């Protein structure tokens, strides 16, 4: 058992250990652990405000944790200086929720930007590589359009082409199907699976779209109120989703989320939500302030 | 314990002072960071420096504001000539108007009015552009792609505005003089315009010219620095962008006038 654990440690491209993050005294992440192995697609699920986006932003070095560590390629990025962090950043790509394309640049220029900034390739080579990347996401015909001229789905694809510009070893996806129609969303899923097969990257996907999650995941992780409830292969989550309620609150909570049911522990808790306590707390707070 | 309103005044004053210090500190920090990146980019190979990016900004911030600078400065020349000739005529010295226009234009009005025009033209547009990028999470994306926004966005804009302001100030100086001459030809008569250029040359010294350009350079840095700082600290959507644009123009003009006063003291009171 111990041996097996050590082996997995060595292989992990991402290793998040005991991550704690508080915003204004409120813990958004309280002791999260996660490992992602080379080539696998890890889907992180959870409701709005569960901390999944915060977790993602820790993994890309946008925010630093209060406690714990985030290691990418075996290097703890919380200990790196700006230069070291930038070196790590060149080894992964990110698809942002909105695509986050640079609006003043054309699609082709957006994809070319990381190459122009981080490599010494000449312009001709860059142009060929840009065309190859755009072909991979099926967007070669839109190379010279600016982001304002293309649809939401195309923006995502262009963002994806930019994310793979430097042949990353990890790809991060922030809500890849948010705001897309079901067909376009399925197309993006297909594209993500193709890419992970073709270029063998490890993918980390943050989403709350369960259809998409079950299509693309190798393993899945369920985050709730800043705690990791379960990390398991997709099959286990499928069994959980399709099985009967167990009576265990956490399991049923996950089951409700996976099925998207309107009734279950999540909604019950929200309803119960200690109405009396809320009222009493408010009154008490007022009294404290007056004192 | 002081009663409510009095405490609030003190609090407001304290908050204002702290806010001012924080603002000034933030801007100084940005200047230091940008200067470091600029030096590394220009003189070493450690940082990438995009000549094409700089040229693009020069066209956008400098060349495009040329027509409006010319227009405004010609009118400044016209106004000076029309306003100051009658008082000079009282002493029979209206032929000396070109000397006064030269000194006022080269030392002060050329650089100042140019910088004010640029604060509206270039400054507001930089603040709006960078502010919009912040709102669209483009800056965060840039950082996550290991592209430093200060190097990629701030440095070319500051250098472009700096060069543009100096060059535009040269044009501005000439346009003020031309504006005065046009007025003399059309309105003031041969007694004024016959020796217009000679009297101007006799009065002007090199110092008038280069102190003006030093000021223009500083104004250029101030305007672009304030614009970038305002743009980068935008929070909260379109409203924030609008506020940043407005505040850029307001702070720029205040900074231009105050620094012009400081320079006048340095150059013409202490004669440095």
Model confidence pLDDT, tens digit, residues A4-31: 444 455 578 899 999 999 888 888 888 8
Residue B191's pLDDT band (cuts 50, 70, 90): confident
The confidence score (pLDDT) of residue B3 equals 53
Q: Which of A79-93, B34-48, B147-161, B162-176 has the lowest average pLDDT? A: B34-48
* Residues A207 and A45: beta-carbon distance below 8 Å: yes
Radius of gyration over every alpha carbon of chain A, rounded to an integer in angstroms: 21
Provide the percentage of residues in chain B whose pLDDT is more than 90. Answer: 57
Work out the mean pLDDT of chain A and round it to a whole number. 84
Is B80 part of any domain?
yes
Which residues have C-beta within 8 Å of that of residue A92, sequence separation ≥ 6? A60, A72, A168, A169, A170, A171, A172
Tell me whether strands A170-174 and A202-207 are parallel, antiparallel or unpaired.
parallel
Q: Which of A27-41, A239-253, B10-24 has the lowest mean pLDDT?
A: A239-253
Comparing C-alpha atoms, which of B221, B16, B197, B6 is closest to residue B101? B197
Q: Strands A202-207, A75-76: parallel, antiparallel or unpaired by DSSP?
A: unpaired
- What pLDDT, on the 0 to 100 scale, is given for residue B39? 87
Which of A87, A100, A116, A126 should be substituted to probe chain B, the one whose Cβ sees the most B Cβ atoms within 10 Å? Answer: A100
Burial classification of residue A271, based on how many CB atoms lie within 10 Å of its CB (0-12 exposed, 13-18 middle, 19 or more buried): exposed
Range list of H helices, chain A: 2-11, 52-59, 82-89, 107-118, 123-136, 152-163, 182-199, 210-216, 234-242, 249-259, 265-272, 275-290
Residue that the structure tokens 């217009």 belong to: B196
The domain total for chain B is 1
A180 φ/ψ angles, rounded to the nearest 5 degrees? -110, 150
CB contact under 8 A, B141 and A62: no
B145 contacts A94? CB cut-off 8 A: yes
Task: Kindly determine whether residue A89 and residue B145, on different chains, have CB atoms separated by under 8 Å.
Answer: yes
Q: Which two tokens stand for residue A201?
A: 């990257």
Residue of chain A whose Cα is closest to the Cα of B134: A100
Are residues B104 and B97 in contact, defined by beta-carbon separation less than 8 angstroms?
A: no
Position B246 in a domain:
yes
pLDDT in tens, A210-222: 888 888 999 999 8
Structure tokens at A172: 């991060």
| Structural domain contains residue B123 | yes
| Residue B42: inside a domain | no
CB contacts of B142 in chain A (<8 Å) are 102
ipTM over 0.85: no
Distance, in Å, from the CA atom of A43 to the CA atom of A36, rounded to the nearest integer, reads: 10
Closest residue of chain A to B148, computed from CA coordinates: A86
> What is the C-alpha separation between B65 and B120, in angstroms, rounded?
10
Mean residue pLDDT across chain B = 90
- Contact: B144, A117; criterion CB under 8 Å: no
Residue B74: inside a domain, yes or no? yes
* Residue A42: DSSP 8-state: E
Q: Which chain B residues contact residue A101 at CB under 8 A?
A: 138
Residue pair B165/B59 in contact (Cβ under 8 Å)? The answer is: no
B239 SS3 class: helix
Q: Which residues of A touch B144 (CB under 8 A)?
A: 60-62, 89, 94
Q: Select from A126, A182, A135 the least CA-distant residue to A160.
A: A135
Q: Is residue B27 part of a domain?
A: no
| B136/A98 CB distance under 8 A | yes
The predicted model gives A43-50 an average pLDDT of 85
Q: What chain B residue is nearest to A162 in terms of C-alpha separation?
A: B145
For B108-123, write each residue's pLDDT tens digit.
999 999 999 999 989 9
The answer as to whether B44 is a domain residue is: no
CB atoms within 10 A of CB B267: 18
User: What is the pLDDT, as a whole number, of residue B260?
Assistant: 94
Instruction: Yes or no: say if A280 and A286 are a contact pair by the CB < 8 Å rule.
Output: no
Please give the order of strands across the beta sheet that includes A14-23.
A26-36, A14-23, A67-72, A75-76
Residue of B nearest to A164 (CA): B145
Q: How far is CA A189 from CA A52, A243, B156, in A?
A: 19, 25, 39
A15: helix, strand or coil: strand
Q: Provide the residue range defining the domain that includes B76.
A: 50-269
B206 domain-assigned:
yes
């Amino acid at each position: 058992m111990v041996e097996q654990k050590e082996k997995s440690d060595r292989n992990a491209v991402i290793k998040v250990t005991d991550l704690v993050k508080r915003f204004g005294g409120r813990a958004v992440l309280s002791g999260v652990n996660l490992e992602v192995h080379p080539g696998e697609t890890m889907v992180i699920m959870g409701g709005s405000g569960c901390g999944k986006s915060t977790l993602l932003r820790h993994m890309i070095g946008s925010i630093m944790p209060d406690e714990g560590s985030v290691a990418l390629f075996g290097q703890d990025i919380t200990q790196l200086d700006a230069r070291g962090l930038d070196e790590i950043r060149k080894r992964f790509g990110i698809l942002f929720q909105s695509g986050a394309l640079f609006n003043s640049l054309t699609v082709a220029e957006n994809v070319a930007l990381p190459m122009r900034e981080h490599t010494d390739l000449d312009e001709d080579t860059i142009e060929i590589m840009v065309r190859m990347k755009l072909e991979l996401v099926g967007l070669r015909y839109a190379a010279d359009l600016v982001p304002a001229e293309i649809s939401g789905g195309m923006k995502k694809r262009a963002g994806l082409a930019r994310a793979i510009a430097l042949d990353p070893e990890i790809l991060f996806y922030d809500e890849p199907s948010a705001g897309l129609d079901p067909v376009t969303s399925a197309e993006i899923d297909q594209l993500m699976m193709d890419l992970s097969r073709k270029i063998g990257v490890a993918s980390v996907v943050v989403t709350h779209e369960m259809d998409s999650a079950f299509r693309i995941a190798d393993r899945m992780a369920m985050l709730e109120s800043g705690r990791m409830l379960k990390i398991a292969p997709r099959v286990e989550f499928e069994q959980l989703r399709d099985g009967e309620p167990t009576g265990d609150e956490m399991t049923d909570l996950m089951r409700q989320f996976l099925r998207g049911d309107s009734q279950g522990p999540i909604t019950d808790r929200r309803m119960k939500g200690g109405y009396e306590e809320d009222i009493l707390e408010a009154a008490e707070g007022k009294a404290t302030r007056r004192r | 314990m002081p009663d409510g309103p009095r405490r609030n005044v003190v609090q407001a004053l304290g908050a204002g002072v702290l806010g001012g210090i924080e603002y000034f500190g933030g801007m100084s920090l940005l200047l230091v960071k940008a200067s470091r990146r600029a030096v590394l980019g220009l003189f070493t190979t450690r940082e990438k420096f995009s000549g094409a990016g700089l040229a693009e900004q020069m066209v956008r911030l400098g060349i495009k504001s040329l027509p409006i600078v010319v227009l405004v400065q010609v009118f400044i020349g016209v106004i000076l000539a029309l306003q100051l000739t009658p008082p000079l005529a009282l002493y029979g010295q209206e032929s000396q108007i070109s000397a006064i226009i030269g000194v006022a234009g080269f030392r002060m009005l050329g650089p100042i009015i140019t910088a004010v025009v640029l604060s509206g033209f270039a400054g507001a547009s930089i603040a709006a552009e960078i502010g919009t990028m912040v709102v669209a999470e483009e800056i965060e994306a840039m950082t996550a792609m290991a592209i430093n926004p200060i190097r990629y966005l701030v440095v070319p804009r500051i250098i472009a505005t700096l060069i543009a302001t100096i060059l535009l100030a040269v044009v501005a100086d000439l346009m003020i003089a031309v504006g005065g001459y046009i007025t003399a030809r059309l309105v003031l008569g041969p007694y004024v315009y016959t020796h217009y250029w000679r009297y101007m040359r006799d009065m002007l010294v090199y110092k008038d010219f280069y102190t003006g350009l030093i000021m223009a350079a500083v104004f250029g840095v101030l305007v672009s620095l304030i614009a970038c700082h305002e743009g980068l600290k935008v929070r909260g959507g379109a409203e924030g962008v609008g506020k940043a644009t407005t505040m850029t123009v307001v702070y720029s003009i205040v900074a231009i006038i105050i620094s012009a006063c400081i320079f006048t003291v340095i150059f013409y009171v202490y004669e440095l």
